[in-house]
A and B are shown apart, each in its own frame.
Chain A
Amino acid sequence: MAREGGLRLLGLTVSPFVVRVRMALQLKGIGYEYIEQDLFTKGELLLVSNRVHKKVPVLIHDGKPVCESLAIVHYVDEVWAATGPSILPADPYERADARFWAAYADSKLLPAWVGIMWAATEEEKAEKVGDTLTAIGHLEEAFGKCSKGKPFFAGDSVGYLDLVLGSQLLWFEALRKMFGVVVIEEGKAPLLSAWVKRFGQTDTAKEVVPDVDIAVQYLKKLQSHRPGSTVAQLLS
């Protein structure tokens, strides 16, 4: 793997926002120094590199920080355009479509399943489960349209939307283990269900995604330290 001088990634192993950046770097075959952050006691480098949000991931390239996971993935795709596969599609409409669904996955799906973990009552939990399944329903339809019969959202191999949704999958596993909630059920979302299996088999997933037990342990730690935390505190 080409070792890029001066490339550091500040992250949290189990954060979907970090996982997708690591997947992007893996796809491009770029080496970097990974620095795990303690989000309970944030270090100087993180605070200085992301003054505005103080969140992970932050990619520091030749001393210049890049923040916000989706902006970072675009950045990686653009800087290393000549290396490895393209992460975003070439066609402007397909790019807009991939961005739309990525934004949807982050703004509608992610807060819903995070809400399941923090629900104070059974009623609230049921509501969040409902929201999660609604979002999955839309993404199932999107998969049909985007993939056009091919194995991934991006076609023959993984791309932007595969990474954005794929980075959330380890938490779906954690939800199943800890709460008995099945987010992507074969009967209700057959296309996504098959995609999950295929995605799990890719080098990108195998090399980057941590074991589900690490996510479970982290959630237990969060629950004991900060009951009622927000999405931000949980994963960035």
Chain B
Amino acid sequence: MAGGDELKLLGSWLSPFATRVKLALALKGLSYAEVEEDLCNKSELLLRSNPVHKKVPVLIHNGVPVCESVIIMQYIDEAFAGAGPSLLPLDPHERAVARFWASYIDEKLVIPWVRSFRGTTEEEKSEGLKQAFAAVENLEGALRECSKGKGGFFGGDGIGLVDITLGSLLTWAHAAEVMSGTRIFDPARTPLLAAWMVRFDELDVAKAVLPDVGRMVEFKTKQARALAAARASDSK
């Protein structure tokens, strides 16, 4: 990294959005200072750096903040173009396809999947899971197209923007399997993605960056109990 470049990441181990940025930085071989935010008690620095959304992740480069995980990843790719592999392909059509799928993952997979954990009713939760599975089926088709004849990643032989965007969700995927037996990347339904998950988990950057599944299970279990208790007392 060029001398004089200071990188600071405001994040949380809980946030897959922050995990994406860590994966991107690791892939590019960039060093940075990590600030672990307490999402229930956000720091002055976070509130000042992201006044509009007040959310993690925020990447602060030489004092200047960049917000929104997919925007941050593109920023890293452009500001540090010489470092490590490119996160986006060179061809404009392939780049457009990558941007399409990154946006799809957040809109069509993440949102309903979160609803499947945190929904107020069983109906809401199961509808969320159904929509998440539908999104995963579309992503299976996307992987088939993007990785045609190459190394089995959305980015081809190596991982790229879409792999990182999806890969940041793997701790949730493993935790969900432990907690409820649900396999979001089920080899019977989406074999390419199931194989992709195994491949992604094996990567050095994934091993270094992805949060521990056991820790996530513990947290999610406590969170589910607290939510249930709060709702039970609300309805008394």
Contact = CB atoms under 8 A, between A and B. Distances in A.
B107 to A, nearest CB: 10
B64 A93 contact: yes
Contacts of B64: 93
A100 B72 CA distance: 10
Given A99-B74, A138-B52, A74 B68 contact: no
A71 B100 contact: yes
Given A68-B100, A75-B96, A93-B64, 12 more contacts: A52-B138, A66-B100, A70-B99, A70-B103, A71-B103, A72-B96, A74-B95, A75-B92, A79-B92, A95-B74, A95-B75, A96-B75
Given A71-B100, A74-B99, A93-B64, A104 B74 contact: no
Q: Is the interface of B mostly helix, strand, loop or mixed?
A: helix
A127 interface: no
25 contacts: A61-B93, A66-B93, A66-B96, A68-B96, A68-B100, A68-B103, A70-B99, A71-B96, A71-B100, A71-B103, A74-B95, A74-B96, A92-B75, A92-B79, A93-B61, A95-B75, A96-B66, A96-B72, A96-B74, A96-B75, A99-B68, A99-B74, A100-B66, A100-B67, A138-B52
B203 interface: no
Interface string A37-76: 0000000000000001000000001001011101110110
B78 A95 contact: yes
B99 A68 contact: yes
Nearest to B75: A96
Contacts of A100: 66-68, 71
A203 interface: no
A64 B93 CA distance: 8
Contacts of A126: none
Interface of B: 52, 61, 64, 66-68, 71-72, 74-75, 78-79, 92-93, 95-96, 99-100, 103-104, 138
Given A52-B104, A103-B68, A92 B78 contact: yes
B45 to A, nearest CB: 18
A78 interface: yes
Contacts of A78: 92, 95
Contacts of A96: 66, 71-72, 74-75
A67 B100 contact: yes
A64 B75 CA distance: 27
Complex A-B, nearest 8 residue pairs according to Cβ-Cβ distance, in ascending order? A92-B78, A92-B79, A71-B99, A78-B92, A96-B75, A75-B96, A71-B96, A66-B96
A185 B226 CA distance: 45
B46 to A, nearest CB: 16
Contacts of A138: 52
A49 to B, nearest CB: 12
A75 B79 CA distance: 19
B96 to A, nearest CB: 4
A106 to B, nearest CB: 10
Interface in A84-104: 92-93, 95-96, 99-100, 103-104
A75 B93 CA distance: 7
B75 A93 contact: yes
Given A68-B103, A71-B103, A93-B64, A99 B71 contact: yes
Contacts of A99: 68, 71, 74
A12 to B, nearest CB: 19
B216 to A, nearest CB: 27
A100 B42 CA distance: 21
Contacts of B74: 95-96, 99
Contacts of A95: 74-75, 78
Contacts of A67: 100
B188 to A, nearest CB: 23
